[in-house]
Chain A
Amino acid sequence: MNVSAFDIRDRYETLIESSTVYSYIGTLQEKDFNDVLKSMEQFIEKHVEAKLMKKKMFHILIEITQNLHNYNKEKDGKAIEDHLFFLVNESREGYRVITGNYLLKKEIPGIRTRIDMVNTMSDKELKELYRGILNFGGVSNGGGAGLGFVDLARRSGEKLIYKFEEIDDKFSFFTLEVNVTN
């Protein structure tokens, strides 16, 4: 993989602002993950005031980091670069959570379709879709695959913003932004 042509740290630093209240760049192996979980909790306890916002942020950050963690785990042995980042910027209405990770190019159409679909849906439609997937039964490999984006859209109440940047013929870089408003 031609990682040298792509600078993840550069992307990360471009997104860091004076309003950045939490940021992480690295891998999400088991040990890292537990540390990250702890530091996320501390961040929320310290920075987020309203009780319900605390809950919402914790939920969204857990979902996002576990998605990343599971994604990279599934790709073990397939030589995917597992460095990733996520950060939280304060915004006027709440918080912007942004993540960045490498992925296999062939996965782009599936992800794009799912995000585009949830973005066109109303709260009521998202609720129906969530229930539909839950009802469908069976448990997917990643654990909750299929529910992730729906859950993020439903809880944040905002459109999901994303970007794919081509790295080479096999890999791309995926940036996802979730706005969490009061």
Chain B
Amino acid sequence: MENYTLTPTPKTPRLYFNAGKGVFEMSGRSIPENSIEFYKPLMKWLDKYIDSPANTTQLSVNLEYFNTSSSKCLIEILRKLEAIKDQSDVKVLWHYEDEDEDMMESGEDFKKLLSIPIELVVVKGE
């Protein structure tokens, strides 16, 4: 299965989803006007991935901003990973910048709603 990668834009994140290694990364901004449309190809890719996932699946989220419509997509992505937790060792690393309480709380929101390990990781500012 091919990897799914996307270069970032001022409104959309960098996506790097490596199927063989089970290493996934999202970074940058996620503020597209139409998040559903933007994430649709990734959702389709994930549907294929979860049919035969790698032994470990680690998603690293390192977002500067995301809008509320992206948060709906994020939970869908995380739910797909939750669905394979018996076949793959799933882990999510949720990064937030030091003192950015809003971003930390967003990580807590997802942590509260999902049954996969979500680790909140502080990134020290420059």
Interface residues of A (CB under 8 A from B): 33, 37, 51-52, 55-56, 58-59, 62-63, 66, 69-70, 127, 130-131, 134-135, 137, 139-140, 142-144, 147-148, 151, 155
Contact = CB atoms under 8 A, between A and B. Distances in A.
A157 B112 CA distance: 21
27 contacts: A51-B125, A52-B100, A52-B101, A55-B64, A56-B102, A59-B102, A62-B65, A63-B68, A66-B31, A66-B69, A70-B33, A127-B105, A131-B113, A134-B109, A137-B76, A140-B72, A142-B69, A143-B68, A143-B69, A143-B72, A144-B35, A144-B67, A144-B68, A144-B69, A144-B70, A144-B71, A147-B72
Nearest to B112: A131
Query: Chain B contact residues (Cβ within 8 angstroms of A): what range?
Result: 20 to 34
A58 B68 contact: no
A135 B102 CA distance: 18
B42 to A, nearest CB: 14
Classify the interface of chain A: helix, strand, loop or mixed.
helix
Given A33-B33, A55-B102, A143-B35, 11 more contacts: A52-B101, A62-B65, A66-B69, A69-B33, A127-B109, A134-B71, A139-B69, A143-B34, A144-B67, A147-B71, A151-B68
A155 B102 contact: yes
Nearest to B102: A155
Contacts, number: 72
Given A134-B113, A148-B68, A139 B102 contact: no
Nearest to B125: A51
